[in-house]
Structure 1
């Protein structure tokens, strides 16, 4: 359904039962349990609480494939149950041995403490579904006191049970106190109470026909109570597209709104500061920099605000593209704010931008009529320097203001803020971005940059209200970084060679980074050891694995290296988040000046630090970092024309899942390939912002990799719908779907762009 001059919008909420409290139809106890377990409170939310997989009744779970520390729901047959008395306290333990389709007893151990009911029910040959968190005890996988439900056996069941047993078993997301079958029971109560045929389809008829989607009422039935193993995939196809359309329509509305905001166009000024800068630039821009620079220049000159994401590898030249846009705004009488996530990075950007500008960044008094002033504003600045920077921003004397979260303070004012550049966007929330936007007279232009490569479909989904550009070339003089895994478990003798390699680089006049996952001494469980207090945002690395292994710390490694004969006489210093800002900046400046040979640091050096003489990076306990983080870290070396090398040191045994990450990083220097590998190896929610929003990513059915083509189609459909009907007055069912989809959690997910 599309809008037309003859059409009349229908403002009534379609099928209001979807907004009903769940308790009205399934009872208060069940509704309260569902709300506690999954924060689901309405009929519509429950309908969209879909099974995550299905089991055929004869398809027993492969018990060898269970993952430690994850909630699991398994279908298995009891081989035997043995009960023994506990030695240290009163009571009994019942140990259950299971089998799967292999027919062999499984190594999985299931135990019930004082399990009188289990002892009576779990007889040999019984078919049952168990749910619980997989643990490890004495080297074996275990489920302790799992929830379970008995299932009718195909051979012994009555006729009705035989019919039922032929249907797939839906497996819903579960928790320790709310296993899958409790969700299934609520659904079986809910579905008969609804008139599914009356729920309006949020997908317009012509699109549903083109996509060959199952009717909505039938899809609800088949996804929750599938007739057979062929029916639920068709239902899933319908809800994948429906979800993609809802998500992309919400994003299309944001883009439409932005396109119709009134912004001050900052047209390029001939013979101005930008032209003077281009004339002084000591190298030629890459084709990508020129192409994206032209596009950005056109958007900055337009009367509506630019919203663009610029992503590219470390060293691909994003800063130059951003600087040229800032100079265009300054030429047109405006100012630019450059927001960086840490003080170290803000100071680095100040250094690199003033180096690029030269005399043109020294103010009009020294640099001439077209020059501007670049100023820094951070939270740790002395009062006098801070006051001077605030005055420069408020008066307009500073055309470019670089800073951290300090830029967001109420007392920071701009004369005419025309452009905001946000570096490493994933470290900032929408509230912070909007706080800076509010300092402008009119909506400012926005350029978001990230050196963390994002697969295009992910960028299109997560940053869906931004247009996406990619810099894929490296500027002349940059050499690829060679990466090797140093596996100490199978080659312990390689450890001395690692530090001998560091000595060789230093003796050749180069410098070395050594990166550790923590600071040391008392921060064994500190996941954010390397971060500034202002930088406790999203981390892309895996959580500590809880396997008892200790992590290398900066303090210990510095002591060790200073006593190591291979590095005798070399200048070894440390950098980490517990140092005060002045000490951090001083250490970084000394390293940049060549006064430090080996810098032992946490991930505080992950982004933006630019020391062109650094050629070797040793990452200790590299398996503690994620793929994207490892790629970011190694981008710190090989920036000055000399070959860069990265050594990924690990003590993990071959075959460990975390070794796959290291092998992937060593196999390619293409960040976009690695980002795709990253997404395939771990839950999509991690990349899509789950940890920032505090829960799941919000994607129910979609996979941003598998469904790339579908998402592209939905994006085009959504753009077409919104261009004709921005408020969705003629698409009330789609509007309702979006309203239900955009929970507070998902609003944050969408707003991350």
Structure 2
């Protein structure tokens, strides 16, 4: 990627024992990999230790000035000297207590600058460290305890001289931050000047050579400028890679699929039981124009839960079918595939259209799967709805013209490219959809190769979904919630109960059995979860959609796309276990008809805890775009990028997905200019970009 390479083996630059430990426990083997292992925070002399979230017994690091000391001998055996050293870190005074340390008593004098590391405790409301390791920062010294690890890399005074900022690195049990700090210092001493990857320093930024050095060993002014430059390079790397993808796509040829007057798309538009919203019509017109061109469409359609993305996709697919092309509709779960296939078939039949829809899933019986494959390869199937099974070898299309990917965050760039490749020599048009609104920083990085369309308004007749928190510590509220669900069923409606697990206490099995025997005695209660066979899941979902089930107790298998207009109430059990976007998605399963609907967020969390606050924030707003930003604030970046995002997480180590939009936007604009003027150069500097690393949210 864009930046610098230092492929020197680490064991040729730092001591062999430390190189082996870093390689074994951190999987870092070269000098370049070590220099890309950035500090997670800094100790700044005089700025105070960050004790947010620190509990007694945790190890903390303190940098400050000794204000005074006290020494005395104990009377009871074993007699020893106790030295209390008081260190002001700029925000508070720490008491460091040493037992029998003549060295500490001798060198820790008033006015000395010192770094301490030890177990944090509170004694009479005063923070203290019991027998911490320490090193003096303002004169010849030797380190104690774990800080001795710095001495493996040379003279301590030379390593620490003049430092006002000390880096704290992501470390391991057997590789401390001090070992990493010493190793980085040794590597930087032998590192030749780093050239600018773009030929010249971007205006307003530090040279890359300075940034790489200052991120690890900041000057008195701190690491901010180095951080900004390296963040910019991270963003520019991704933006260039996406720019190259866009440019390459423009060089491919797609089948031209213009609107055909008097055919199926036009017939569907005139026979819909409801008018399209202004937003739906605008997006459909943009898609129609894209499909009419021979440049492959690459468009992302994001929209609020229930904003009508699927009907827009169906109308777009009909435009392709009108031109004799097939469409592939990729969905993340078998339940959703079967529902989409059934719903599309019913919609087409009501409109009197002969368009043929075929479903394909991995758990289909061999006979049905073979029948589906024959219809796909012969061209008998116009629209093929499938799970990942569509990506497998042996799935061949007769004439694939349009690929639609539902719930984009469940599929990576590589997977959607894999499906497009099934079209043979031509490149099919691509429409990807998500009801998880994408924060704008991610939209221009991870989805930078796509044109983004947004649906914000709900179709006519949809009423906003009311939401409420139901805490377990208020039993009357819980009882009222069950009562409300019974009232909705008595009025002829249906309900969802969503559980965070299948088995055990609070799981689908236990909750369904308990409710059927108590709160919902006399009602039809069914269960749905991921361990059920495909045909069984499809049967339960079809029964629920037909009104044969009053209360469906399910896992998040019903999270996306499931559309039962008669369902008007949902309770999410133990909602603190779900993510912000996931709760918003679940809520979107009700309110899909014209009836007033309600989502109840049950929680075991105590009031005034972060978990309770997060659930309350979701209940307080139905704006998915606001919640997407909240999601970023509530998660660490690694969680946002997902458990399968190791490559992307390595690429975006420094960018803050909430705060760095302006910087990312500048990188995106700069990348566009570079791609337009020097495509081959952009291709060269992004040659090792791995598209599979760039998935968005893995919400499971």
What range is the shorter-chain TM-score in?
0.7 to 0.9
Check conservation: 1:274, 1:324, Cα contact below 8 A: yes
Note the aligned Cα RMSD (angstroms): 3.8
- 5+ residue gaps, structure 2, are 72-81, 143-155
Partner Cα separation in structure 1 for residue 59 and residue 283 of structure 2 = 46
- Aligned residue among 598, 622, 627 for 1:645: 598
Residue of structure 2 in register with 1:679 after alignment:
632
Q: Could you tell me whether the CA contact under 8 Å between 2:360 and 2:386 is conserved in 1? A: yes
The CA distance in 1 between the partners of 2:263 and 2:326, in whole Å, is 15
Q: 2:218 aligns with which of 203, 221, 226?
A: 226
Provide the C-alpha distance between the structure 2 equivalents of 1:306 and 1:69, rounded to a whole number of angstroms. 57
Q: Gaps (5+ residues) in structure 1?
A: 1-12, 82-93, 362-366, 522-550
Q: What's the CA shift string for 1:295-329, capped at 9, x where partnerless?
A: 11122222121111111111111111111111111
Query: Is the counterpart of residue 476 in structure 1 residue 460 in structure 2?
Result: yes
Cα distance in 1 between the residues matched to 2:231 and 2:529: 44
Match 2:266 to one of 275, 284, 287: 275
Sort the Cα spacing of 1:119 and 1:609 in 2 relative to 1 into closer, same or farther, 3 A.
farther
User: What is the CA-CA distance between 1:204 and the residue it aligns to?
Assistant: 5.1
Call closer, same or farther: CA 1:625–1:21 in 2, change over 3 Å.
same
Q: Could you tell me how far 1:20 is from its partner in structure 2?
A: 2.8
Change beyond 3 A, Cα 1:63–1:494: same
Tell me the TM-score normalised to structure 1 length: 0.80
**Once the 2 structures are TM-superposed, how far is the Cα of residue 175 of structure 1 from its aligned partner?**
2.3
Q: Once the 2 structures are TM-superposed, how far is the Cα of residue 105 of structure 1 from its aligned partner?
A: 6.5
Which stretch shows the higher mean deviation, 510-519 or 262-271? 262-271
More divergent stretch after superposition (566-575 vs 327-336): 566-575
Match of 2:401, SS state, is strand
1:260 corresponds to 2:251: yes
1:566-605 equivalences under 5 Å are 566-605=519-558
Structural mapping, 1:644-663, within 5 Å: 644-663=597-616
Label 1:573 to 1:23 Cα distance change in 2 as closer, same or farther (>3 A): same
**Residues 260 and 323 of structure 2 are in contact (CA less than 8 Å); yes or no, is this contact kept in structure 1?**
yes
Deviations 1:51-90 (A, max 9, x none): 2222222334233532799997665899999xxxxxxxxx
CA distance in 2, matches of 1:488, 1:122: 53
- Go from structure 1 to structure 2 and tell me whether the alpha carbon gap of 1:143 and 1:24 turns closer, same or farther (over 3 Å shift): farther
Query: 2:202 is matched with which residue: 208, 220, 224?
Result: 208
1:748 aligns with 2:692: yes
**Structure 2 partner of 1:447:** 431
Q: Does 1:46 align with 2:46?
A: no
C-alpha contact (below 8 Å) 2:94/2:129 kept by paired residues: no
* SS of match in other structure, 1:55: strand
Report if the CA contact (8 A) 1:57-1:165 is conserved.
no
User: Match for residue 712 of structure 1?
Assistant: 665
Instruction: Give the Å deviation of 1:150.
Output: 2.0
Residues 52, 172 of structure 1: 8 Å contact kept: yes
Distance 1:387 1:65 in 2: 57
Q: How does 1:344-363 map to 2 (within 5 A)?
A: 344-358=335-349
Partner of 2:78: none
Aligned partners of 1:703 and 1:648: how far apart in 2?
A: 30
Residue 166 of structure 2 is aligned to residue 169 of structure 1: yes
CA shift, 1:349, in A, is 0.5
What SS does structure 2 have at the residue aligned with 1:615? strand
Partner Cα separation in structure 2 for residue 122 and residue 695 of structure 1: 46
Q: Is the 8 A contact 2:45 2:64 kept in 1?
A: no
For residue 461 of structure 1, give the secondary structure of its aligned residue in structure 2.
coil
Counterpart for residue 46 of structure 2: 58
Alignment of 1:407-486 (within 5 A): 407-441=390-424, 442-486=426-470
- Aligned equivalents of 1:488, 1:154: Cα separation in 2: 56
Task: Measure how far apart 1:636 and its partner are.
Answer: 0.5
**Map of 1:557 onto structure 2:** 511
Contact 1:322 1:421 in 2 (8 A): yes
Could you tell me whether the CA contact under 8 Å between 1:372 and 1:397 is conserved in 2?
Answer: no
1:600-619 correspondence runs (5 A): 600-619=553-572
The 1:616–1:716 alpha-carbon spacing in structure 2 relative to 1, beyond 3 Å, is same
In 2: Cα distance, 1:690 partner to 1:333 partner = 40
1:25 CA displacement: 2.7
1:597-616 Cα distance to aligned partner (Å, 9 max, x none): 11111111111111111111
Deviates more, 1:154-163 or 1:336-345: 154-163
Instruction: Flag the 1:121–1:395 CA change in 2: closer, same or farther, 3 A.
Output: farther
Provide closer, same or farther for how the CA distance between residues 488 and 226 of structure 1 changes in structure 2, counting only shifts above 3 A: same
Deviations 1:159-212 (CA, angstroms, capped at 9, x unpaired): 97999365211222222222222221111111121222xx2212453x722xx1
- Decide whether the 8 Å contact of 1:71 with 1:174 is kept in 2: no
Count of aligned residue pairs for this structure pair:
662
Q: Deviations over 1:420-450 (max 9, x none)?
A: 1111122224443333223212221111111
Determine the C-alpha separation between the residues in 2 that align with 1:122 and 1:266.
Answer: 80
- Provide the residue aligned with 1:376 in structure 2: 359
How much does 1:28 deviate?
Answer: 3.8
Say if 1:188 and 1:338 are closer, same or farther in 2 by CA, change over 3 A: same
Whether the aligned pair in 2 keeps the contact of 1:299 and 1:306 (CA below 8 Å) is: yes
The Cα offsets for residues 120-141 of structure 1, whole Å up to 9 and x where unpaired, read as: 9887979544489x9x9xxx9x
Q: Give matches, 1:146-545, under 5 Å.
A: 150-152=134-136, 164=161, 167-196=164-193, 199-203=194-198, 205=200, 208-209=202-203, 212-228=204-220, 230-358=221-349, 367=353, 371-441=354-424, 442-489=426-473, 491-521=474-504
Deviations 1:223-247 (Å, cap 9, x if unpaired)? Answer: 221221x242122222222222222
Could you tell me how far apart the structure 2 residues matched to 1:47 and 1:31 are?
Answer: 14
Deviates more, 1:432-441 or 1:319-328: 432-441
Give the corresponding residue for 2:675.
722
**In structure 2, what is the equivalent of residue 664 of structure 1?**
617
- Paired residue secondary structure (2:403): strand
- 1:689/1:749 contact within 8 Å kept: no
Using a 3 Å threshold, how does the CA distance of structure 1 residues 684 and 69 change in structure 2: closer, same or farther? Answer: farther
Partner of 2:463: helix, strand, or coil?
Answer: coil
Decide whether the 8 Å contact of 2:359 with 2:385 is kept in 1: yes
**Structure-2 separation of matches of 1:606 and 1:17:** 44
Change (3 A) 1:215 1:276: same
Kindly indicate whether the alpha-carbon contact (under 8 Å) linking 1:575 and 1:599 is maintained by their aligned counterparts in 2.
yes
Structure 2: distance between partners of 1:25 and 1:19: 11
Label 1:595 to 1:143 Cα distance change in 2 as closer, same or farther (>3 A): farther
C-alpha distance 121-500 of structure 1, shift in aligned 2 (>3 A): farther
Question: What is the CA–CA distance in structure 2 between the aligned matches of 1:459 and 1:70, rounded to whole Å?
Answer: 38
- 1:559 deviation in Å? 1.9
Name the structure 1 match of 2:23. Answer: 35
Shift of 1:336: 0.2
Separation in 1 of the partners of 2:262 and 2:55? 64
Maintained 8 Å contact 1:379/1:404: yes
| Change beyond 3 A, Cα 1:253–1:73 | farther
CA contact (8 A) 1:313 1:451 kept: yes
8 A contact 1:273–1:328 mirrored in 2:
yes
State the Cα distance separating 1:670 from its structure 2 match: 0.4
**Separation (CA, whole Å) in 1 of partners of 2:18 and 2:241:** 32
- Aligned mates of 2:222, 2:363 — CA distance in 1: 61
